[in-house]
Chain A
Amino acid sequence: MTASTANQAKGKKRKRVRGVGTGAPSWEMIALFILPAFLLYTIFMIWPLFQSLYFSFFEFKGLARGGFVGLRNFHELFTRYPLNEQLPNAFWHNVYFFIGTMLIQNTLGLLFAKLLYASRFGKRFFQTVFTLPYLISALVVGYLWSLMLNPLFGPVNQILRAIGLESLARPWLGDPATALPAIIFANAWQWVGFPMLLFSAGLAGISNELREAARIDGATSWKLFRYIELPLLLPVIGIVTVLTFIGNFNVFGIVWAMGGVNGEPAGATDVLGLVFYRTAFRGGVDAFGLASALAVLMFIFIFGVSMLMLRYFRHMEEKLT
């Protein structure tokens, strides 16, 4: 019996292999199909990424590449004023941005997904509405909210005054204490639909039998969520966390629109994306070397931490199953 199943499996396997294997086109044909995408992708994306690493060890004079300088560009990043102050300042703002986004945007996304999973009516409507702002350019969202939060003519303060909360009205983007949180809010306003959709898909993937079984065992809705759904959502939570991390450490347009190229007020909204842009295109004569070094560090950090996060979540999943 085992032999016959093995044979069957083998037969099936052979068949499938033949399906994709025979009639495989000639090398010329394969090249003809793949080369256009390969060249475009390699020349304009992959090759420049590798070159960044190479260039980070060279001195630049404007557009001209000079001699090999070892780690000097990296050293300059942390010692030359004002970079040595702007860089850590911006880095912690990115960390703050990430934590704030996780707490506000992704928690709301999970909450909405859970509420919509249970509701019968209007699911599609709410999903569509909540996802809508994702379409708008980050820059436009930034400008839109900077108008909304304008201290004099902005509707937000106007509404606060109208409902008697005048003490809360403030120059949101002019005050270093509220500027970055305001941007985090605007960014969450734009993106909340994304974690919501991912969590919705995750919830839909959980078998209803599990839910039934838990309910029969007398689990309350909260317990069902906490002990059944949440652990099973772990892979999605992992993906959302990593994507949020990558997105937040690359944030650029929305901060530019709300805080300008220097992250006003007084650098309170400065982030790594802006520092990188300023270093490369508003810096001194050796800007390109410094910017390449910064690109390498950001790449290693973003990629490295993403990998660590993925591993951590995989480890958590294994522990649970």
Chain B
Amino acid sequence: MSDHARTSSRRINLASIGANALLWGYAAIVILPLLLVVSNALRPTREIFKNPVGLPTSPSFDSFVKAWEEASFNIYFFNSLVITVVSVLLATAVSALAGYMLGRYKFRGSMLLTAYFLAGLMLPFRLAIVPLFLLLNDMGLIDNRLGLILVYAATGIPFSIFILSSFFRQLPQELSEAARIDGAGEFTIFGRIMLPLVRPALATVIVFQFVPLWNDFFFPLVLLRSTDKWTLPVGMTRFFGEFQADWSTLFAGLIITTLPLIVIFLLATKQIIAGLTAGIGK
């Protein structure tokens, strides 16, 4: 018996060593390229070409300055920030209003409306680009940041309503009833009582919209023409053509584009994971 136990425990040990080796191995595949990006952004291109894998001998931020000023990353960054933040706030605001009504009340057509909004989770919106382009053209919103913002806000609505309405639904009825007896109107109940209670859901919704919009490449590629309105991803395509031979600056550009997302990730890992697994498991 002890023999059997020993072999089985040895087998378990071997298995767990194997598992750990696999996990650490893959973690290295994720982390090393990212570290290499940072390291290579801090050393001159000449050094990178001589030795692609290496640490900077005398770290310098010249490449960041170059990307920021010469490669117009200051302009792209500003555009990305304005467009993403305004879109997310707009989508969250309208989704909170609609999500509140759909989550709290049953009225004729409320189920149908919810289904209508949730259908958007499944629809490949990019395929609507031709009519969308013509619509924005008629409105004079091609090559206009507002046009992109309206499109982005619309794409954020299905997910936001999905999350927010289910959170509003879970809040106890007594709260709003007490407030109503005290003579509070619908907007007061919504704004003063309910909205503060769904703050975690708001955080999930905001973080989860921010990432894909910040990263989106397709819509600005089609809807924005002038380079001074471009966002980071579109600017990146021009940048990679122009600075082809200047690897140090290329790496710095990759970092500048990704930095805000890393900050968000560190601040809101929980919300990101909650958003990715929304609707699964317990």
Residues of A within 8 A of B (CB): 17, 19-21, 23-25, 29-30, 32-34, 36-38, 40-41, 43-49, 51-52, 55, 63, 108, 111-112, 115-116, 118-119, 122, 126-140, 143-145, 147-148, 152-155, 158-159, 189, 193-194, 197-198, 200-202, 204-205, 221, 236, 239, 246, 250, 252-253, 256-257, 273, 276-277, 280-281, 288, 291-292, 295, 298-299, 302-303, 306
15 more CB-based (< 8 A) A-B contacts, given A17-B106, A20-B173, A52-B128? A20-B106, A25-B105, A34-B101, A40-B94, A40-B150, A47-B135, A52-B131, A63-B134, A111-B22, A126-B27, A130-B27, A144-B33, A252-B217, A277-B222, A280-B133
Tell me whether B102 and A34 are in contact (CB under 8 A): yes
Q: What is the interface residue range for chain B against chain A?
A: 35 or more
Tell me whether B106 and A21 are in contact (CB under 8 A): yes
Tell me whether B254 and A48 are in contact (CB under 8 A): no
Q: CA of A277 to CA of B233 in the docked complex: distance in angstroms? A: 16
Tell me whether B128 and A48 are in contact (CB under 8 A): yes
Chain A residues, CB < 8 A from B155: 45
Chain A residues, CB < 8 A from B129: 48, 280, 291, 295
The verdict on A280 contacting B130 (CB below 8 Å), with A130-B27, A140-B257 known, is yes
Q: Nearest-CB distance from B125 to chain A (Å)?
A: 6
**Binding site secondary structure of chain B:** helix
Q: CA of A51 to CA of B237 in the docked complex: distance in angstroms? A: 30
Tell me whether A49 and B262 are in contact (CB under 8 A): no
Tell me whether A40 and B177 are in contact (CB under 8 A): no
The verdict on A45 contacting B105 (CB below 8 Å), with A34-B98, A139-B215, A148-B33 known, is no
Q: CA of A30 to CA of B27 in the docked complex: distance in angstroms? A: 50
The 5 closest A-B pairs by CB, nearest first: A201-B281, A137-B215, A51-B131, A48-B128, A44-B154
What 0/1 readout, one digit per residue, does chain B (240-282) give for beta carbons within 8 Å of chain A?
Answer: 1000000100110010011001101100010011001100111
The verdict on A137 contacting B233 (CB below 8 Å), with A158-B52, A299-B127, A302-B124 known, is yes
Residues of B within 8 A of A (CB): 15-16, 19-20, 22-23, 26-27, 29-31, 33-34, 36-37, 48-49, 52-53, 90-91, 93-95, 97-98, 100-102, 104-107, 113, 116-117, 120, 122-135, 137, 150-151, 153-155, 157-158, 161, 173, 176-177, 180, 186, 190, 211, 214-215, 217-218, 221-222, 232-233, 236-237, 240, 247, 250-251, 254, 257-258, 261-262, 264-265, 269, 272-273, 276-277, 280-282
A29 CB contact (under 8 Å) in B53, B117, B127, B186 = B186
Tell me whether A34 and B113 are in contact (CB under 8 A): yes
Tell me whether A45 and B19 are in contact (CB under 8 A): no
